[in-house]
A and B are shown apart, each in its own frame.
Chain A
Amino acid sequence: MSNSQIPVTQSFDGVVEVLALPAQGMVTLRGDLADERLREAVNDTVGVEVPLVRRADFQDARGVIWMSPDELLLIVGAGQGAAIADRLQTSLAGGHALAVDVSDARVVFELRGRRLREVIAKLAPVDMSPDAFTPGDFRRTRFGQIAAAFWLVDDTCARVICFRSVADYMFGMLCHAADPAAELIVY
């Protein structure tokens, strides 16, 4: 994922590169994450196993993200959200689970560069030291005044998601934090 070929819709080249990624397929799955049937359905449908607590696991562009004790966010190809949600709902029929296509609900930004830990630490109340936050770690938190979440793809690439309604605020804030005139070197 770090060298994604997805065309970007907006970008800023600062201390880190800030890229607004185009639409991706996203599905919210609510259910018992310990349930074997649900775990198999996720693996069969997305091709990625249910991750550990607060982790984001990817196979190429498809991923499964741990959102809460009973919620996963599935990242799939653009336009595939509805079909994936249908398939999951069908294979989980009769059980207590809900899959919904939420592709339009959120936007994804990518940060690229060595100083992305500092850029995130300016905006979110999260310990970004390399020991505390490692590639594959996922965290729901806030960036400035808005609810957001992010994960580290690797040490020089992070992805940030937030609701689409606050995408402009997020992009502006990320660019501001990545302004070369305000570079921080901490980690």
Chain B
Amino acid sequence: MLILTCPCCGVTGEETEFHGGGEAHLTRYGPGSTDEEFQAYLFRRENPKGVHFERWRHVNGCGKWFHAARCTVTLEVFGTYPAQTLRPPEDLLERIREKRPGWRWKDLS
């Protein structure tokens, strides 16, 4: 069971109170982008075994979107953070470096 803490209302709940929203920190290419950029935005997703960054919504709760960093193997949650950012907070990245030395996710490591 995945246990998440919503950074918007502070509730720590199990996953049935939340709804997954897919990969975090996508760049939404639109009009004016190249075919390659648009195709990548629409179809190409990370599918890591290990550290992953996702969007979640506290759907049966405060209703807000937020980000979560977790391990897809153990379901360990490294941390959650607000939706209003393009990049995970540095202290969270540091925590992941300690727990999963050598991890990589897109341009993060």
Interface residues of A (CB under 8 A from B): 53-54, 67-69, 71, 125-126, 139-142, 147
Contact = CB atoms under 8 A, between A and B. Distances in A.
Nearest to A143: B60
29 contacts: A53-B9, A53-B10, A54-B10, A67-B62, A68-B8, A68-B9, A68-B62, A68-B64, A69-B9, A69-B62, A69-B64, A125-B13, A125-B14, A125-B16, A125-B17, A126-B13, A139-B11, A140-B9, A140-B60, A140-B62, A140-B63, A141-B17, A141-B60, A141-B61, A142-B16, A142-B17, A142-B60, A147-B59, A147-B60
B52 to A, nearest CB: 23
Given A140-B9, A142-B16, A142-B60, 11 more contacts: A53-B9, A67-B62, A68-B9, A68-B63, A71-B63, A125-B13, A125-B14, A125-B17, A140-B62, A141-B17, A147-B59
Contacts of A53: 9-10
Interface in B9-36: 9-11, 13-14, 16-17
Contact of A54 (B11, B59, B63): B11
Contacts of B59: 147
B8 A69 contact: yes
Q: How large is the interface on B (under 10, 10 to 19, 20 to 34, 35 or more residues)?
A: 10 to 19
Contacts of A125: 13-14, 16-17
A148 to B, nearest CB: 8
Nearest to A140: B61
Interface in B80-107: none
A54, A67, A139, A140, most chain B CB atoms within 10 A: A140
Nearest to A126: B13
B13, B14, B59, most chain A CB atoms within 10 A: B13
Nearest to B12: A127
Nearest to B1: A125
A56 to B, nearest CB: 14
Nearest to A54: B9
A54, A68, A71, most chain B CB atoms within 10 A: A68
A53 B10 CA distance: 8
A109 B18 CA distance: 24
